[in-house]
Structure 1
Amino acid sequence: MGSKPPQRLDEFNMDRKQFNYVKRVLQDLTVGRYPRVDHLPLLLNLHQNRFVLTDNDRLMVYFHPTVLPVPPAEARPTGASSAAPFDPGSGEQPSRPEVSILEHAQEDMQRQWRVLRETYRSTSESEPVPGVCGRYRFLFFIHTHRIEAPGFPYQKTVYTLSIWDREWDELIWHDVYPFEREDRRRAIHQFWTRAKTNFLPEHLRSGKMGSNTIDPRLPERIRYKTVYHTWENHPSLPPPPRDTIMFVLATAMFHTNEATYKDQVVMRKEWEFVTGHRSELIPHLVFCGLMICLESKYLPDNDIERQTQFLRLFGVSKKMTWMKEGLQSYITMSGWPVEFSTALRL
Structure 2
Amino acid sequence: MSGRNSCEIAVQLNESLVYTVLNLVHLITCVLSVVLAFRLQNAWHSRVYFHANVKMLLTTMLCLAVVHAITMSSFLFLNLFSWLFADSNCDSLMFNGTMCLFLRHPTNVCIAGLVLCQLSIAVERVVATWIGPEYNTYSNKIGRILSVSTVVCAVVLLGPLLASETTFEKQINCGFPSYTAQTHNWMLMLELLGLDVLSVVVFLGVYGVSKYMKEGAMFQLERRYQINETLYVTKLLLPVTFVHFLLFAILCSAIVLIEMFFQDPFTIIYYEVIFYTAPFYTVLFPLIILHVITNLDRDRKSKITVLVSENVTGQPGTRAHFESLDRMWGCSTPVKGGSPRPTPV
Name the TM tier (shorter chain): under 0.3
Q: What's the TM-score once normalised by structure 2's chain length?
A: 0.24
| Structure with more of its chain in strand, by fraction | 1
The structure whose Rg is larger is 2
Q: What's the TM-score once normalised by structure 1's chain length?
A: 0.24
